[in-house]
Chain A
Amino acid sequence: DVKVTQSSRYLVKRTGEKVFLECVQDMDHENMFWYRQDPGLGLRLIYFSYDVKMKEKGDIPEGYSVSREKKERFSLILESASTNQTSMYLCASRVSRGGPSYEQYFGPGTRLTVT
């Protein structure tokens, strides 16, 4: 079974703090993704990575950065947390962008509250 784990289920941070969200997958997947999910807006892509050391902006990258130094780990960084970044953050991984398997496997999510 594919397993995607996220470092925290719940996190409370203060405005202006630097926040690190970690995601680890154990299936040697090439592609990894960070989304945020808000009521009525669905899942929105923040950043993604098709391979180690690679990163690309998604639809809402402002205020975020990412790091992928190892294949299994993809980190999301909030440089200076703001209240509008209060959300559910979901990490996902996928075998690759090509080939027959496009299924994305999601981690359990991190509910971040910025006060």
Chain B
Amino acid sequence: RKEVEQDPGPFNVPEGATVAFNCTYSNSASQSFFWYRQDCRKEPKLLMSVYSSGNEDGRFTAQLNRASQYISLLIRDSKLSDSATYLCVVMDSSYKLIFGSGTRLLVRP
């Protein structure tokens, strides 16, 4: 079983739609959680950290459910420029990042 699992997609949505991605992790001792974004043929970049209380950054909302060991990312009012692969990332107890395989999002006009 992978340590961090994501639906690979692709999620194909029209502009303006709301889309949500989920991710599950296996190590209950994990302390820190993140979403990274990776554009085609580019390097991953931090999108946002995920806090226990949930956090929002503009159109993006991240939630953490420790009891069920899953993390979510909600994107409202999707833009064409949101098309990318979204990587769910968990930090292990030795401070290493464990990456999911990513969920691909395609936003169409």
Chain A residues proximal to chain B, CB less than 8 Å: 35, 40-45, 48, 58, 90, 97-98, 102-104, 106-109
Tier of interface size on chain B: 10 to 19
CB within 8 Å: A-B pair count: 38
B interface, CB within 8 angstroms of A: 4, 8, 32, 34, 42-46, 49, 87, 91, 95-97, 99-102
Residues of B within 8 A of A102 (CB): 32, 34, 49, 91, 95, 97
Do B32 and A42 touch (CB < 8 A)? no
Instruction: Give, as a whole number of angstroms, the nearest-CB distance from A57 to chain B.
Output: 11
Known: A42-B87, A97-B95. A106 touches B43 (CB 8 A): yes
Residues on A with beta carbons closer than 8 Å to the beta carbon of B44: 43, 90, 106
19 contacts between A and B (CB under 8 A): A40-B8, A41-B101, A42-B99, A42-B102, A43-B44, A43-B87, A48-B96, A90-B43, A97-B95, A102-B34, A102-B49, A102-B91, A103-B46, A104-B46, A104-B97, A106-B45, A107-B43, A108-B42, A109-B43
A72 to B96, CA, bound (A): 19
- Given contacts A40-B101, A43-B99, A97-B95, list 7 more A-B pairs with CB under 8 A: A41-B101, A43-B87, A45-B96, A45-B97, A98-B95, A106-B44, A108-B43
On chain A, the residues within 8 Å of B8 by CB distance are: 40
Q: How far is the CA of A44 from the CA of B97 in the complex (A)?
A: 10
Report which residue of B32, B95, B100 has the largest number of chain A beta carbons within 10 angstroms of its beta carbon: B95
| Residues of A contacting B: mostly | loop
Least Cβ–Cβ distance between B34 and chain A, in angstroms: 8
Q: Which chain A positions have C-beta within 8 A of B87?
A: 42-43
